[in-house]
Amino acid sequence: MITLDPTDILPLYRQLYQALRARILSGALPAHARLPSVRELVQELAVSRNTVEGAFQELYAEGYVYSKPRSGYFVAPLDQELAPRPTPARPPAAPEVPPAPRPWRYDCHPAHLDPASFPVETWRRCFTQGLRGRLEQLVQYGDPQGEPELRRALARYLERSRGVSCRPEQVVVCAGLQQSLELVAQLLGPQHSVLAVEEPGYFMPRAVFANHGYTIEPVSVTEQGLDAATLAASTASVVYLTPSHQLPLGGVLPAAQRLRLIEWARSGERFLIEDDYDSELRYHGKPVAALQGLDPEGRIVYTGTFSKVLSPALRLSYLVLPPTLVPTFRDRFASYFCTVSLLEQRALTRFLEEGHWERQIRRMRTIYRRKHDRLLAALAHRFAGRARVLGEGAGLHVVLELTAPAPPAAEVLKRAAEPGALHVADGRLLPGPGAGGDQAPGGLWRAAAGGGGGRGGADR
């Protein structure tokens, strides 16, 4: 007995198709059995001829039935053993609960920007102008490496302001660091299977390379950055590092270490992945040039992002490949498409070409220098003599090292989460030097405290 429900959102012919298909798959209608005729079903179910014919046509198109001229439809022979078992009714999913607003008085999360800092009007104008560009491109797939105009604009900017020396052919437009690293992990080839990462360091590269089968070898960093001698003693043939502003300790990799790393890469066909994520934001002292500029034809993969100065929500970043990897890239990803929308790319090209990007950098430096200085003043006042700030003077975070005998991690996190407290970068606590457990010897605690934005940022 088949029953159809006219109030169901599923059309009647689809309901009938599903009912007949279920009988065929369960064997209730065995192979070569004749299906009732259209007329019989029309009468039995009080539905239109179109409904029955629609269901039969669907079953026929999918190979559940075959037809014999002037005899009707018959069940096709199927292996019932292979038929999917009916799934038990699932309990209704728990409704999604939006996260409760956090009670932070100051949101210092290092990856959140001040909402007032996004140049809404300028971006809107660049985006609208981009819509008016060549129409035929809007209905096609773009260049797999990213639009050539954008790659040219990026190469010019990187040369001018970061000392990166590259040709537009080396630039790949990406949707964030994660995607850049996914590409690099696949590009490097089977002779590379161990990635060295900074310890402490950014979690993302570890996750991406581990997902691609790499072994991750943490190499400890000092306040100046990754130690080349320790790296040389490891089995890694690729290293991910943040030489201009180590995440999180904030060190700048000294020139001597840079040269040693370049030599390490050259001498063993190894690769350096330089993440230059926030180098635009240096508040005091001279900007630090990129490592890539020291060996542009060598073995450095350079990555940068628009997340720290424009917006992490746009998902816009870039990769500069060393010349040796460009042919492999084109070969390996010949059937891939660019993951960044053409319209966003056009908007960004205008943003760069019309000087808005450099204006935005200057604006963000002013906003964040003030936040940074206010944060340091507040920390000095609150923690006088009981804490030390590391890695100040750049970027969107500093590290606070609690030097006096400090409470256990759980207590620090609890206090940091109290209403009216400072939002301390996801509550991430870094063990002090040499510590592996919950609390470092001597009671040292380091908390990564962002200089980021949000409600009532530190300069308000």
Ligand X SMILES: Cc1ncc(COP(=O)(O)O)c(C=O)c1O
Virtual torsion, Cα 301, 302, 307, 312, nearest 10 deg:
-10
In this complex, which beta carbon is closest to ligand X, that of residue 112 or of residue 192? Answer: 112
- Token representation of residue 226: 């990754």
In this complex, which beta carbon is closest to ligand X, that of residue 54 or of residue 453? Answer: 453
In this complex, which beta carbon is closest to ligand X, that of residue 54 or of residue 225? Answer: 225
Give the one residue of 54, 176, 296, 450 binding ligand X; rule: CB under 6 A. Answer: 176
- CB of 170 within 8 A of CB of 320? yes
- CB of 172 within 8 A of CB of 189? no
CB of 355 to ligand X, least distance (A): 22
- CB of 155 within 8 A of CB of 168? yes
Residues 201-230, interacting with ligand X (CB under 6 A): 202
Give the one residue of 277, 302, 318, 351 binding ligand X; rule: CB under 6 A. Answer: 277
Give the one residue of 177, 253, 321, 440 binding ligand X; rule: CB under 6 A. Answer: 177
Exposure string of 335-351, with b = 16+ CB inside 10 Å and e = fewer, is: eeebebebebbbbbbbb
3-state secondary structure of 138: helix
Give the one residue of 55, 221, 247, 273 binding ligand X; rule: CB under 6 A. Answer: 247
- CB of 168 within 8 A of CB of 143? no
Compute the residue count for the chain: 460
* DSSP string across 237-306: SEEEE-TTS-TTT-----HHHHHHHHHHHHHTT-EEEEE-TTTT-B-SSPPPPPGGGGSTTSSEEEEEES
Contact window for ligand X (CB under 6 A) among 14-22, 161-169, 173-181, 186-194: 173-181
In this complex, which beta carbon is closest to ligand X, that of residue 145 or of residue 317? Answer: 317
- CB of 430 within 8 A of CB of 347? no
Give the one residue of 18, 161, 178, 230 binding ligand X; rule: CB under 6 A. Answer: 178
Total site size for ligand X, rule CB under 6 A:
13
CB of 174 to ligand X, least distance (A): 8
In this complex, which beta carbon is closest to ligand X, that of residue 165 or of residue 307? Answer: 307
In this complex, which beta carbon is closest to ligand X, that of residue 290 or of residue 444? Answer: 290
**Distance between start and end Cα atoms, the chain:** 71
CB of 443 to ligand X, least distance (A): 28
3-state secondary structure of 72: strand
Contact string (CB under 6 A) for ligand X, positions 94-133, x = contact: -----------------x----------------------
Give the one residue of 72, 133, 312, 407 binding ligand X; rule: CB under 6 A. Answer: 312
In this complex, which beta carbon is closest to ligand X, that of residue 202 or of residue 445? Answer: 202
305 sits near ligand X (criterion: CB under 6 A): yes
In this complex, which beta carbon is closest to ligand X, that of residue 15 or of residue 242? Answer: 242
CB of 136 to ligand X, least distance (A): 30
Exposure string of 70-99, with b = 16+ CB inside 10 Å and e = fewer, is: eeebbbeeeeeeeeeeeeeeeeeeeeeeee
- Token representation of residue 65: 């039935």
Give the one residue of 165, 237, 242, 244 binding ligand X; rule: CB under 6 A. Answer: 242
279 sits near ligand X (criterion: CB under 6 A): no
d(CA 188, CA 23): 52
CA angle 323, 325, 328 (to 5 degrees): 130
* Torsion over CA: 400, 405, 409, 415 (sign): negative
443 sits near ligand X (criterion: CB under 6 A): no
Contact window for ligand X (CB under 6 A) among 65-73, 185-193, 304-312, 346-354: 304-312
In this complex, which beta carbon is closest to ligand X, that of residue 58 or of residue 344? Answer: 344
CB of 192 to ligand X, least distance (A): 21
Contact window for ligand X (CB under 6 A) among 73-81, 100-108, 172-180, 357-365: 172-180
Contact residues for ligand X (CB under 6 A)?
111, 176-178, 202, 242, 247, 275, 277, 305, 307, 312, 317
